[in-house]
Amino acid sequence: MSAAGPGAPARRSGFAATAVAVIAYGVAMAFLESAVVVYLQRALGIDPRALFPLQDPAGMGDLAAIEVGREAATLIMLAAVGWLAGRSGLERLAWTAVAFGTWDILYYAWLAVFIGWPSSLATWDLLFLIPVPWAGPVWAPVAVSVALVGFGLAAAARLRAGRPVRAGRAQVAAGVGGGVIVVLAFCWNAPLLLAGGVPTDFPWPVFAAGMALAAWGAVTAIRPRP
C-alpha cells in the first residue's frame, strides 16, 4: 500500500474536480463581464483605446456609483466561489486566488477576441476604482493573476491531500506586505488620473518588489518541510 494511504486517490480526484469547476467558473465569469463591457462601451460610445483621461464622474451620473458597486460585487462573487470550494480557511483563500486569477486573465483574453483590445500587454488599463483609480499596463495585473493561479493551485493541492501549508507570521506578513506594495504600484498614478492626466510611467521596481516579497511568502508556505 502506498504511504499516502487509501484515501489519497479520492482526495486527488476531489482536487481535480474542484479545480476544473473553479477554473470553469472563472472562464465563464470573464466571458460574461467582458461581454458586458463591450455592450456598455458601444452603448455609451466609449473607445476602449481612449480610457484616459478619465471621464468626469459627475458627467456619468449614476453609472459611476453602479460601476463601483459592480466591482465590489465581482470580488464578492469570486470570494463566494472560493468559500464554497474550500474546506478550511486557507483552502478557501487558495481557491479564491485561483478564481480571481483565472477571471482576470481570461477577461483580457475575451476582450482581445471580441474587440481586439488590448493590442499588446503594454496597453494601459483602468483596473479598479476602489478607493481610488488603479491603472497599469496589462502585463502587470496578468502577472499578479498568473501568480495567484499558480500558488493558489499549489496550496489547494497540498491542503486537499492532507499536507500542511505553513502560514506563520513571516508568511502572512510577506503576503500582506507584498500585496499592499503591489496595490500602491497600481495606485501610483491616481493623483495624476484624478487631475485629468494620462499615465505613461509605471513604477515597475515598486511592483516587482511587492511581487517578490509576496512570492517569497507563498513559496515558503507551500514548500515541503525537511
pLDDT classification of 46: cutoffs 50, 70, 90: confident
pTM here?
0.88
| Ranges of H-type helices in 45-168 | 57-60, 62-85, 89-115, 139-160
The lowest-confidence range among 22-31, 36-45, 113-122, 194-203 is 36-45
The lowest-confidence range among 37-51, 106-120, 134-148 is 37-51
Does residue 62 surpass a pLDDT of 80? no
Whole-angstrom Cα distance, residue 57 to residue 145? 28
Taking only the tens place, the pLDDT of each residue in 119-171 is 999 999 999 888 889 999 999 999 999 999 999 999 999 999 999 898 899 99
To which H or E segment does residue 123 belong?
A: none
CB atoms under 10 Å from CB of 124, counted, come to 18
For cell 518588489, name the residue.
Answer: 209
Q: What percentage of residues in the chain have a pLDDT greater than 70? A: 90
CB atoms under 10 Å from CB of 120, counted, come to 10
